[in-house]
Amino acid sequence: MPSISDWAQTLDEGRLNARELGRITETWPELSPTDAYQIQAAGIALRMKRGEKVIGYKMGLTSEAKRRQMGLHSPCYGVLTDAMQVPMRDGIGQFRLAGSIHPKIEPEIAFWVGRELRGEITEAQAIAACTGVSAALEILDSRFIGFKYFSLPDVIADNSSSAWFAVGPERRDFQNLDLGALAMRMSVNGQVAQTAQSSEISGHPARSLVELCRLLATTGQSLPAGSLVLAGAATAAVPLEKRMSIRLEIEGLASLEVTTD
Ligand code: OOG
Ligand code: MG
């Protein structure tokens, strides 16, 4: 039976060649979240061997809308590397569809963490450790056939479907902003496609940081100073197509846009 490192390799090849794979749990039904996080970590180690740098984490399945869309019910995390970041020019990131399988985009809030966070923390401690907040768009791309009906361990092993992300300008004086009550609006080609309150994300987006620290602590890890953290999507994700323009506006934060070719 394929091992943790075999699956990390297979998923990595699927990603590099934009080739869909069958679910891991088809051949390894008892795959646990712990095994899955080991596959995820082995996959990130392969990317680091090629020179990519870990710059943070993404939380997933932190909103009811996402849990309903995916039919999965517990939050999970994935690792972000520098190679996943869509470069921004004048608030716009250009995303090339070539090299992706079935990409989807979703509205998120990103935190810039200034101090190491470890173990059980409160929302207030999480916020106090942040140096800035940004609007962000995550581009997901599952390596599994059809991007559907997978189990939580499958998703975790696949780096929680993480693929690319774009981050808007950082707001540093966010202390008087009520992060738990920001209006969010994602437009596609100028038409409003999704709207939500930031409270959709874990009840309050800072709760995603609390949950991330709790999950990392189960394997003795902490959230390093300098990390960028995506708190999870506030709404369901929208499939990306050719020549699309996706704009995210969040009250109190600078907007950003991603266009496809
Ligand atoms: C899992 C990742 C979910 C989010 O923001 O909820 C996620 C998936 O939808 O494939 O990134
Ligand atoms: Mg996401």
Determine the distance separating the centroid of ligand 1 and the alpha carbon of 164, expressed in angstroms: 12
Q: Are 240 and 70 in contact (CB under 8 A)?
A: no
Q: How far apart are CA 129 and CA 66, in angstroms?
A: 27
Please report the pLDDT score of residue 150 as a whole number.
Answer: 84
Identify which of 106, 154, 207 to mutate to test ligand 1's pocket (most ligand atoms within 8 A of the CB). Answer: 106
Amino acid at 66: K
Decide whether any atom of ligand 1 lies within 6 Å of the 66 Cβ.
yes
Identify which of 40, 57, 66 to mutate to test ligand 1's pocket (most ligand atoms within 8 A of the CB). Answer: 66
pTM confidence score: 0.98
Identify which of 161, 162, 184, 208 to mutate to test ligand 1's pocket (most ligand atoms within 8 A of the CB). Answer: 161
Q: Please compute the mean of the pLDDT values over residues 77-94 and round it to a whole number.
A: 97
Per-residue three-class SS string for 34-77: HHHHHHHHHHHHHHHHCCCCEEEEEEECCCHHHHHHHCCCCCEE
Closest C-alpha residue for ligand 1 atom 8: 161
Q: Parallel, antiparallel, or unpaired for β 76-81 and 54-60? A: antiparallel
User: 198 falls in which pLDDT band (50, 70, 90)?
Assistant: very high
Decide whether any atom of ligand 1 lies within 6 Å of the 60 Cβ.
yes
**Average predicted confidence (pLDDT) for the chain:** 97
Nearest CA-CA partner of 108 in 261, 259, 253:
253
Closest-lying ligand to the alpha carbon of 137?
2
Give percent of the chain with pLDDT exceeding 70.
100
Determine the distance separating the centroid of ligand 1 and the alpha carbon of 212, expressed in angstroms: 14
Q: What is the pLDDT of residues 206-248, one digit of tens each?
A: 999 999 999 999 999 999 999 999 999 999 999 999 999 999 9
Please report the pLDDT score of residue 196 as a whole number.
Answer: 98
